[in-house]
Amino acid sequence: QVQLVESGGGLVQAGGSLRLSCVASGSIFRVNAMGWYRQALGEQRELVAHISRDGSINYADAVKGRFTISRDNAKNTLYLQMNSLLSEDTAVYSCTANVQTYLGRNDYWGQGTQVTVSS
């Protein structure tokens, strides 16, 4: 079994910063690609940023230049540094990871962490 646990969300003023973390734990052989998604109230979930195991990165246009995704493979941990936050960044942020276990490869999701940006 694999668990993903996010942390670092909270309430911040517009223009401020937050750093999200996501730790993968359990019977893990290898963590492959990881990513951050967000879902605002009444909206569909959308990709924020994605990073492969070797460090290839993609960002949503809405966060380019403001958010930075990174990972620590030794710690099975994913990060999202969010700067210059806007009210439209308010959402539940969830991490996902493609994980190799003894049962095979599967995608796992965390429970999400709320980010609220006040204007």
Let me know the angle formed at the C-alpha of 37 by 35 and 39, rounded to the nearest 5 degrees: 170
CB 39 within 8 A of CB 48: no
* Residue-wise pLDDT tens digits, 84-98: 999 999 999 999 999
Q: 2 by DSSP, 3-state: which? A: strand
Q: Which residues of the chain have pLDDT under 70?
A: none
pLDDT of residue 30: 97
Q: 80 by DSSP, 3-state: which? A: strand
Indicate the length of the chain as a whole number: 119
Round to whole Å and give the CA distance between 113 and 103.
28
